Structure 1
Amino acid sequence: MTQKARIGKTDLYVNPIGLGTNAVGGHNIYPNLSDETGKAVVRAALDNGINFLDTAYIYGPERSEELIGEVIKERGSRGDVVIATKGAHKFVDGKIVLDNSPAFLRESVENSLRRLQTDYIDLFYIHFPDETTPKDEAVGALARLKEEGKIRAIGVSNFSIEQLRQANADGHVDVLQSEYNLLRRGVEKEILPYCVEQGISFVPYFPLAAGLLAGAYTRETTFADGRSKNPLFQGEEFARNLEKVERVREIAKEKGAEVAHVVLAWYLTVDGIDALIPGAKKPEQVGDTLKTLNVRLSADEIEKISSIFEA
């Protein structure tokens, strides 16, 4: 039986390895996606004991939620599947704008319920902050939806420390999702300590830094996508980052593991992080990611990995 981790102070218990689903129906994010392959990825996750699925309205838009809803329906039972989704984006005159207003968040939850073909959402995030809505009012709207049984837990995503504090003024925030990886550790200064103090679970996205921390690249690797514009992948910084990854590879070899598994295992040792949501484009990638749970890091190894990536 897969060990379950509790998310923050909620009553949600999940496999520490979840599934990020922006490549499941995320046609606006990745080219040439197959909906059937996306559904196969979700099936593979559930069949292998992953019960934490992370999606969002903007993945598609809408299509990721729809595909997950179809898979859940075909299984005939929700079981212990924990579904997280997000809202904040809307189209106005063909352009995407952000809206955290209570009325729009309620509308977003109702629409997500319909697409997911379910009567409750386990974790609903405000995906991005807008510029006008007081964050405690936005979260207050989600608290009312929680009282109504339409959501079970409240999350915010991409919030600054100031926005997070305002959002959590009444103690309603259960989860924060933001970018965090060994090469981007800014949240360690204020955000992670605040989360630990408040019992807020921190869910990192981009944990493998667009593949850089997976150990698959060399100095000769070229990128035709947006990574070529990312400072992490440019010039001497790219070379330095590759050297750091090679030092992790030494630890991984000693354990008979892959670099990615060691990196992901390291995150699970960080206070405040209860679960990870690495993505997958193919069903077989799901089983590979689960090998992370076989990696046990000693206190010395945890410290060594941290020191390799200290600024």
Structure 2
Amino acid sequence: MAEQTTRLGRTDLLIGRIGLGTNAVGGHNIYPNLNEETGKEVVRTAMANGINFLDTAFFYGPERSEQLIGEVLKEKGNRKDIVIATKGAHKFVDGKVVFDNSPAFLKESVEGSLKRLQTDYIDLFYIHFPDEQTPKDEAVGALQQLKEEGKIRAIGVSNFSPEQLREANKDGYVDVLQSEYNLFKRGAEAELLPYCEQHHISFVPYFPLAAGLLGGKYNKNTTFNDGRAKNPLFQGKAFVRNLDKVDQVRKIAEAKGAEVAHVVLAWYLTVPGIDALIPGAKKPEQVLNNLKTLDVKLTKEEVEQISQIFKV
């Protein structure tokens, strides 16, 4: 494999430190005008270049992302080295989405994902969002049963509060937490990251580039007509201040002959508890670009300098 592997937390899953988030592979409910063949090519490109950690979910599509990944896995013929993470919790009731963490629904969700992915085991299954009624240790207990049956290999939770995470991990079964974390939104550093480090739970951040703001491609004249138009990070004086912070990182990146995004992603890989990242890609060339993160080596001084730039 082209990419050096690391162990995901305390699991026996060996993953490359740069994975692939696949909400743009068949995620028609998230992005308009997606081309499914391009999406499949994104997955093929990732696997051909040593990326073995693919992150998907029932909700991406819905269902379509898992189906397309399943088709590519079938083409490959052998998925022994590929680590598939997927998620469940969304349920459609009378046309509305509700979250369900009940043991019965989670077991049903795993069976559905197995069919769509055309596989007989899922490496990492996350509860995608918490519901309000199910005790979290009961929900995780159901996944532990599936783990003992060999249907899943590791247990994850996503979008859980510190209290929900503690309850979920009452029996020590939680292997991975996926939660929002980036240089602009560092709330996870207060409780979630320390808890994960203490309990050997791997922390997988999502939105690591803050809707592109940490990618270094925008300036104060950039305008947005999507969700970013209402995002406080992109508004008024805050937007200008945020761009100034990104420009300070740009100086570090330019000195290394790297892109801002690569330096930012490399910074996350220095955070204790973070074993891997799952940047998304809409095109095959973006997959290859994400891998350049692994070429960036930050000194202790640079890690601290970047941290200070983004101190609130």
Q: Same fold (TM over 0.5)?
A: yes
Tell me how far 1:99 sits from its aligned partner: 0.2
Counterpart for residue 95 of structure 1: 96
Residues 1:175 and 2:159 are matched in the alignment: no
Counterpart for residue 117 of structure 2: 116
* Separation of aligned partners in 1, 2:50 and 2:3: 7
**Residue correspondence of structure 1 range 88-237 to structure 2 within 5 A:** 88-237=89-238
Counterpart for residue 80 of structure 2: 79
AA aligned opposite 2:7: R
* Separation of aligned partners in 2, 1:236 and 1:10: 44
Aligned partner of residue 204 in structure 2, secondary structure: strand
> Moved runs in structure 1, 4+ residues, more than 6 A?
none
Tell me how far 1:4 sits from its aligned partner: 0.4
Structure 2 residue ranges without an equivalent (≥5): none
Counterpart for residue 309 of structure 1: 310
Aligned partner of residue 62 in structure 2, secondary structure: coil
Structure 1 residue ranges without an equivalent (≥5): none
* Separation of aligned partners in 2, 1:303 and 1:221: 29
Tell me how far 1:308 sits from its aligned partner: 0.2
Tell me how far 1:296 sits from its aligned partner: 0.2
Residues 1:29 and 2:30 are matched in the alignment: yes
Counterpart for residue 53 of structure 1: 54
Tell me how far 1:307 sits from its aligned partner: 0.2
* Separation of aligned partners in 2, 1:173 and 1:236: 41
* Separation of aligned partners in 2, 1:154 and 1:237: 38
* Separation of aligned partners in 1, 2:229 and 2:297: 34
Over aligned residues, Cα RMSD in angstroms? Answer: 0.4
Aligned partner of residue 277 in structure 1, secondary structure: coil
Tell me how far 1:105 sits from its aligned partner: 0.1
Tell me how far 1:21 sits from its aligned partner: 0.2
| TM-score normalized with structure 1 length | 1.00
Aligned partner of residue 165 in structure 2, secondary structure: helix
Aligned partner of residue 97 in structure 2, secondary structure: strand
Aligned length: 311
Tell me how far 1:2 sits from its aligned partner: 2.1
* Separation of aligned partners in 2, 1:76 and 1:161: 40
Deviations 1:11-57, CA, capped at 9 Å, x for gaps: 00111000000000000000000110100000010011000000000
AA aligned opposite 2:70: G
Counterpart for residue 9 of structure 1: 10
Aligned partner of residue 84 in structure 2, secondary structure: strand
* Separation of aligned partners in 1, 2:7 and 2:263: 22
AA aligned opposite 1:131: E
Residues 1:273 and 2:274 are matched in the alignment: yes
Aligned partner of residue 27 in structure 1, secondary structure: coil
Tell me how far 1:5 sits from its aligned partner: 1.2
| TM-score normalized with structure 2 length | 0.99
Tell me how far 1:79 sits from its aligned partner: 2.8
Counterpart for residue 261 of structure 1: 262
Deviations 1:268-309, CA, capped at 9 Å, x for gaps: 000000000000000010001100000000000000000000
AA aligned opposite 1:249: R
* Separation of aligned partners in 2, 1:191 and 1:224: 33
Deviations 1:84-109, CA, capped at 9 Å, x for gaps: 00000010011111000000000000
Counterpart for residue 249 of structure 1: 250
Tell me how far 1:196 sits from its aligned partner: 0.1
Deviations 1:55-93, CA, capped at 9 Å, x for gaps: 000000000000000000011111300000000001001
Aligned partner of residue 39 in structure 2, secondary structure: helix
